Amino acid sequence: MATAAAHRTARTAEDGAPDTAVDTAAYQSAFDAAVAADERIEPRDWMPDAYRATLVRQIAQHAHSEIIGMQPEANWITRAPSLRRKAILMAKVQDEAGHGLYLYSAAETLGTGRDELLDKLHSGRQKYSSIFNYPTLTWADVGAIGWLVDGAAITNQVPLCRCSYGPYARAMVRICKEESFHQRQGYELLLALSKGTPEQHAMAQDAVNRWWWPSLMMFGPPDDESQHSAQSMEWKIKRHSNDELRQRFVDICVPQAESLDLTLPDPDLRWNEERGQHDFGAIDWTEFWDVLKGNGPCNEQRITQRRRAHDEGAWVREAAAAYAAKHTGTTGGTGETRA
Amino acid sequence: MTATVPATAALALGDDALVLSHRLGEWAGHAPVLEEEVALANIALDLLGQARILLSMAGDEDELAYLREERAFSNLQLVEQPNGDFAHTIARQLYFSTYQQLLYTELAAREGPFAPLAAKAVKEVAYHRDHAEQWTLRLGDGTELSQERMQRACDALWRFTGEMFQPVEGLDVDWADLADRWLRSVTDVLGRATLAVPEGPRSGAWAAGAGRQGLHTEPFGRMLAEMQHLHRSHPGASW
């Protein structure tokens, strides 16, 4: 909850919009005070337009990542090598769809709609995490995604549980619990492979070799090239810089890789006694920007599949809307909500 | 479980659940709306859970799932049918979940090795049937296009429904009565969905009980090839 002062100020005008510059200044200072006091901004509170826009962009991108992120893993559901693993993977992909739903709901509290956000995803106007533009080539990739990709996501997302925007912070609390579980499952999958036959061990190592660097890229560009960082940290949407979180992730992964009996593909990776942290090699930022621009190995495939699922499902959504109109007298919206 | 578990019956029911679960798993990332990603995966998971219990009653679940060839699978031909469009998937769900609900209700009500599994599964299956019914109503009584597609799906799968009522060795069930109740239930849903009950036989000479005998349709072998490939490539490995 924002401060009482902010509430009073923000909710005086029922139409929500301040009429004068004087009002705007008062709203702004109440907002600033609430953020400074580490209080939560809620949907009906006044907020700067840029804060709203940043959150919509970030939450939508997060939601899209959950939805697109189902694809590389779903790629292995039908080939999972044991029934137990198959059940775990199905449950995980189902959780991701659920996370997408929470996040679209959180974005909707900011005055946008799921349909609109999906349109933007489908037309390329909004992005999703670049990591999902890499292919899952072996079963071990499912483990590497759990361990490294979910691990990086958690490192990024745990601080978001304290994000200044209430609905986003609360969604992250629920999501992080499930993500930690997924991450442990991924680790456990890799451990089984690593301790298995030589072929299985090689499969695990190959997967880690391919997913390590893309996982480090998940923290975004270096601090001096990150255009949104400073403002997001001021608003307490973000709590730590990209490079800080990336470092934290590397330091967590090194001992885990050792206990997995797998190596990380970085000849420059070593403990730095002075810093009390690991030094690591340079990230290939050319590749990062290239994937971000749409030229990764699976960009085209991922968005095509998403669009196709949506387009081929249109008649189903229309049927649900028509049925709702006949039987409840409402228009049934777009059919996105099933009775 | 004791040695009295009828393996034939455990395999028949387990294979049904395993194969349908696999088909539903193919929907992941392709569903028409996000809520259906969740729902279809949920149903697939329930079925996979049932399959694991049932196959374990008959032997080792992974050996049975991954190392039998298609002639040794005893699932119904209905559940191995490709997903087709959403209407085909829903029609298959309606036919099968109605059967499963009636059968498991029977099995839960009597003493026997399947009673505990059936008692748990019947709750899941009631949800599956409700989901299928709700979508049958929406597609049947939705738009002209959805009605046409739903009718086509119901018609196409109709001939696979007779085999569900071929007696399964080891299951003490009044199959003719089950068949009657199934037909009444499905007729009622289709009627409310403004759909016609399909004409034509519910089992051809080949389809009647064929799946239970290990006689399958052509898409099934390809499905198994995909499902078993990795497991078979690493003989004896643990996962």
* Strand residues in chain A grouped as ranges (E): 270-272, 277-279
ipTM of the complex: 0.96
Q: Which residue has the higher pLDDT, A19 or B223?
A: B223
- Cβ neighbour number for residue B9 with a 10 Å cutoff: 23
Enumerate residues 6+ apart whose C-beta is below 8 A from B39: B131
Q: Could you tell me which residues are beta bridge partners of residue A165?
A: A41
Q: Does A84 touch chain B (CB under 8 A)?
A: yes
In a domain, A293, yes or no: no
For B226, the closest chain A residue by CA position comes to A79
In a domain, A146, yes or no: yes
Of A84, A196, A309, the CB nearest to B30: A309
Residue A210 corresponds to which tokens in the numbers above? 């391919």
Of B22, B145, B239, the CB nearest to A85: B239
- The confidence band for B1, taking pLDDT boundaries of 50, 70 and 90, is very low
How many domains is chain A built from? 1
In a domain, A22, yes or no: no
In a domain, A118, yes or no: yes
DSSP A161: G
Q: pLDDT tens digits for B24-62?
A: 999 999 999 999 999 999 999 999 999 999 999 999 999
Q: pLDDT tens digits for A156-187?
A: 999 999 999 999 999 999 999 999 999 999 99
Pair A45, A2: CB distance under 8 Å: yes
Per run of 10 residues, the mean pLDDT along chain A (length 339 residues) is 49 54 88 96 96 96 97 98 98 97 97 96 95 98 98 96 96 95 97 98 98 97 87 93 97 98 98 97 95 94 97 98 89 47
Domain containing residue A191: 37-211
Instruction: Check residue A15 and give its pLDDT.
Output: 52
In a domain, A252, yes or no: no
Of B52, B142, B237, the CB nearest to A319: B142
Instruction: Check residue B167 and give its pLDDT.
Output: 92
Residue A260 corresponds to which tokens in the numbers above? 């997995």
Q: Are B234 and A104 within 8 A, CB to CB?
A: no
Tell me the DSSP string of B121-171: HHHHHHHHHHHHHHHHHHHHTS-HHHHHHHHHHHHHHHTTSGGGGS--TT-
In a domain, A95, yes or no: yes
Pair B7, B59: CB distance under 8 Å: yes
In a domain, A333, yes or no: no
Q: What is the CATH number of the domain that holds A110?
A: 1.20.1260.10
Q: pLDDT tens digits for B184-200?
A: 999 999 999 999 999 98
Chain B contact set for A132 (CB, 8 A)? none
Q: Are B25 and A86 within 8 A, CB to CB?
A: yes
Chain A contact set for B138 (CB, 8 A)? 319-320, 323, 338
Q: Where are the domains of chain B?
A: 7-197+212-230
- The maximal CA–CA distance of chain B, rounded, in angstroms, is 54
Least confident of A22-31, B76-85, B150-159, B180-189: A22-31
The terminus-to-terminus CA distance of chain A in angstroms comes to: 32
Pair B136, B97: CB distance under 8 Å: no
Q: Are A323 and B230 within 8 A, CB to CB?
A: no
CATH superfamily to which B7-197+212-230 belongs: Ferritin, core subunit, four-helix bundle (1.20.1260.10)
- Cβ neighbour number for residue B179 with a 10 Å cutoff: 18
Around B172, how many Cα atoms within 13 Å sit in the side-chain half-sphere? 9
Pair A115, A121: CB distance under 8 Å: no
Pair A306, A316: CB distance under 8 Å: no
In a domain, A241, yes or no: no
